[in-house]
Amino acid sequence: MLSSFLSLSAFVASALASPIETRATCSGAHVLWARGSYETYANSTLLPLVNKIATTTGGSSSAIIYPATVINATVSSDYDNSVAAGINNTILQIKQYVASCGSSSRVVLVGYSQGGQVMTDTLVGGAFEPAGIDSSYWKYITASVVFGDPTFTYPSKYAAGNATTSGISQRFQNDPTEVSLNNNFANTLRSYCTVNDPICAGLEFTNAGAHQAEVRDHQAAAQAFVLGFR
């Protein structure tokens, strides 16, 4: 089963001609990562963090294959469809990995910007998006770290960084998905958001640089958080 999974992953990586995976292994952490809007796989700001987690744990990594499309003026559903594709691919990759590695599976989810929403929606679902992964798989998800997630909600048990406002697509406090994140992932999820980030702090594009710097500014904290589960 693992050989089939590896063959499929290798084919996808080759077809896209970008460094989107390291050879999957059942040892260490298997890091699934979702790039932000406009980012290419090869130049994602997540790569240094992803590679550090994978190498330090003796594990592996794989990119989530999805469009990372933003909203345009003529097709307002582009963004929702893009996030949905990311959720579906993340769920597929988790299920394939667990089917191959069984009880030894240790999956880490990492996402930036739109990719951050992909990861939190993968856990619990979201508005206009597919349902999250079945709860029977939660035990295999060791840790999740996201940066600049549009659905960032303040206050929350999983919030990190210094933002004190919520994102442009925030989950409201009584929303079932927000309740689930706080009840089921408070200890294993960190969502990093910097004050004045127009995406995760929802402040009318006051400081685009804050959003662009999310991963860089919080990488050390996120790395320590994830590696604390070794």
Query: pLDDT class for 21, splitting at 50, 70, 90?
Result: low
Residues 230, 212: Cα–Cα separation, whole Å: 29
pLDDT attached to residue 116: 98
Per-residue tokens: 198:
């127009």
62-109 pLDDT, tens digit each? 999 999 988 665 555 788 999 999 999 999 999 999 999 999 999 999
Q: Which of 69, 80, 166, 85 is nearest to 127 (CA)?
A: 80
The CATH code of domain 2-227 reads 3.40.50.1820
Q: Which of 32, 37, 29 is nearest to 21 (CA)?
A: 32
Residues 202, 174: Cα–Cα separation, whole Å: 19
> What's the distance, Cα to Cα, between the start and end of the chain in Å?
25
Is residue 209 within a helix (H) or strand (E), and if so which, with residue range? helix 208-212
Residues 121, 86: Cα–Cα separation, whole Å: 9
Q: What is the mean pLDDT of residues 121-126?
A: 97
Strand partners, 30: 60, 107
Boundaries of every domain in the chain: 2-227
- Tally Cβ neighbours within 10 Å of residue 61: 24
- Tally Cβ neighbours within 10 Å of residue 112: 30
Query: pLDDT class for 56, splitting at 50, 70, 90?
Result: very high
pLDDT attached to residue 75: 55
Could you tell me what percent of the chain has a pLDDT over 70? 86
Quote the Cα angle for 146-188-49, to 5°. 40
Phi and psi at residue 44, in whole multiples of 5°? -65, 140
Is residue 62 within a helix (H) or strand (E), and if so which, with residue range? strand 60-63
Could you tell me what percent of the chain has a pLDDT over 90? 78
155-200 pLDDT, tens digit each? 999 999 999 999 999 998 899 999 999 999 999 999 999 999 999 9
- Tally Cβ neighbours within 10 Å of residue 40: 11
Q: What is the mean pLDDT of residues 134-160?
A: 98
